[in-house]
A and B are shown apart, each in its own frame.
Chain A
């Protein structure tokens, strides 16, 4: 938004340096413009729609949706020119973004269509006023700042909405926090699912160490089957977590290292020599039971068929 107001300020500075009367000029010209755009609404809108199609933008939308959206964008656009207030447009742009972001519409497409509309309308102004260059200049002086402000508003609203969606998703990922599960007396399992960033890794360590204390755990099985990737800092963090667990009297077993992760760890040279790793969670649990002195035997089974 700050860009928009700066642009506006520049515009008004220019008019001040030329003539104080220009401000009035703009006030008179804009209604004329709006009337012109209102008059040729259908033609201009169709031209705009065909330009959008040529540019292969918004292909995620059906032609009917396209027609409906282009009509409302057009009307909003003209309304901003008429009233000079971008509030309604802002609201509309946010609403529109909310609808189209889930369908995979990109920022460049949204900015692209608004700029296309700006060009289509500017072209029609050229046609209308081409006989009188002085007047055309003044018309453009009035039109351009307003048009730029509109493009700006739409782009900013779209990006804002996108960021909001991203933030929301990050929050929900964080909420899927890692549970520390007691499976037997003195045995904890910590399944890690999803990408581990440093913030999540820190949170995980904190939870694990606290759980070791509350459950008086002797053995912890950390299962990373569900972690798609591990980078150097996260790997080192895991090593530190294992060491810290040992200081608290619990030994850690790491299970479920995928081939990719194993390769990464060896390539980046993380020192895992002190870590007890076992192929899968089942093996890890068996080893943990052995360490704790459990023997699990299979009886006849009591499950009814």
Chain B
């Protein structure tokens, strides 16, 4: 596992985890992010994950595949994932290169992502 500071802040917000990617990640950093996030879902017993990519102006095929994988792993560990903040240029480039986000839900920004997750959460967790 690579050493050095984490380039992604993973914050706990109630029963959700909010991961903001601040800068373009290379492949090993991407893997580290994936491992950190999956680890923390278990630690915090999170029900939802929001990955914020608003700061990214490029997203390569490895990056988008990793995001898809993260979402799938998160689902297996019991959390719903939403990707937020994809920039217009990035969105079109991703589509043009045929690398969508698969079945992962996307939303405009953090606020929208929270609204989406709130709507999907079972009632009992909202009561906690």
State the A residues within 8 Å of B (CB).
205-206, 209-210, 212-213, 216-218, 240-241, 243-250
Q: Could you say which of B107, B108, B112 has the most chain A C-beta atoms within 10 Å of its C-beta?
A: B108
B101 within 8 A of A: yes
- The answer to whether B86 and A240 have CB atoms under 8 Å apart is no
- The answer to whether A213 and B108 have CB atoms under 8 Å apart is yes
Interface of A is mostly: helix
Chain A, Cβ-Cβ closest to B112: A249
**How far is it, in angstroms, between the C-alpha of A248 and the C-alpha of B101 when the chains are bound?**
11
**How far is it, in angstroms, between the C-alpha of A204 and the C-alpha of B2 when the chains are bound?**
43
Q: Top 9 closest A-B pairs, CB basis?
A: A209-B88, A249-B108, A249-B107, A244-B91, A247-B91, A243-B95, A240-B95, A244-B95, A244-B92
Residues on the B chain within 8 Å of A249, using CB: 84, 106-109, 112
State the B residues within 8 Å of A (CB).
84, 86, 88-92, 94-96, 100-101, 106-109, 112
Chain A, Cβ-Cβ closest to B92: A244
- The answer to whether B100 and A248 have CB atoms under 8 Å apart is no
In angstroms, how far is the closest chain B Cβ from the Cβ of A186?
10
**How far is it, in angstroms, between the C-alpha of A75 and the C-alpha of B15 when the chains are bound?**
91
Residues on the B chain within 8 Å of A248, using CB: 86, 88, 91, 106, 108
- The answer to whether B88 and A206 have CB atoms under 8 Å apart is yes
**How far is it, in angstroms, between the C-alpha of A209 and the C-alpha of B90 when the chains are bound?**
10
Jot down 12 A-B pairs with beta carbons below 8 A, ordered by A.
A209-B92, A210-B88, A212-B108, A216-B109, A218-B108, A240-B95, A241-B92, A243-B100, A244-B94, A246-B106, A247-B101, A249-B112
Q: Could you say which of B86, B95, B100, B112 has the most chain A C-beta atoms within 10 Å of its C-beta?
A: B95
Residues on the B chain within 8 Å of A240, using CB: 92, 95-96
Residues on the A chain within 8 Å of B100, using CB: 243, 247
Chain A, Cβ-Cβ closest to B113: A249
Also in contact, A205 and B108, with CB within 8 A (given A243-B100, A247-B100, A249-B84): no
Residues on the A chain within 8 Å of B112, using CB: 216, 249
- The answer to whether B88 and A212 have CB atoms under 8 Å apart is yes
> Contact check: which of A213, A216, A241, A247 meets B94 at CB < 8 Å?
A247
Known: A209-B89, A213-B108, A244-B88. 10 other contacts (CB 8 A): A206-B92, A209-B92, A210-B88, A212-B108, A216-B109, A244-B94, A247-B86, A247-B91, A247-B101, A248-B86
**How far is it, in angstroms, between the C-alpha of A240 and the C-alpha of B88 when the chains are bound?**
12
In angstroms, how far is the closest chain A Cβ from the Cβ of B109?
8
In angstroms, how far is the closest chain A Cβ from the Cβ of B81?
14
In angstroms, how far is the closest chain A Cβ from the Cβ of B63?
13
**How far is it, in angstroms, between the C-alpha of A244 and the C-alpha of B91 when the chains are bound?**
5
- The answer to whether A250 and B108 have CB atoms under 8 Å apart is yes
Chain B, Cβ-Cβ closest to A240: B95
Chain B, Cβ-Cβ closest to A247: B91
In angstroms, how far is the closest chain A Cβ from the Cβ of B108?
4
Chain A, Cβ-Cβ closest to B94: A247
Chain B, Cβ-Cβ closest to A215: B108
Chain A, Cβ-Cβ closest to B96: A240
**How far is it, in angstroms, between the C-alpha of A236 and the C-alpha of B109 when the chains are bound?**
27
Residues on the B chain within 8 Å of A209, using CB: 88-89, 91-92
Residues on the A chain within 8 Å of B109, using CB: 216, 249
Residues on the B chain within 8 Å of A241, using CB: 92, 95
Residues on the B chain within 8 Å of A250, using CB: 108
Q: Could you say which of B84, B89, B92, B101 has the most chain A C-beta atoms within 10 Å of its C-beta?
A: B92
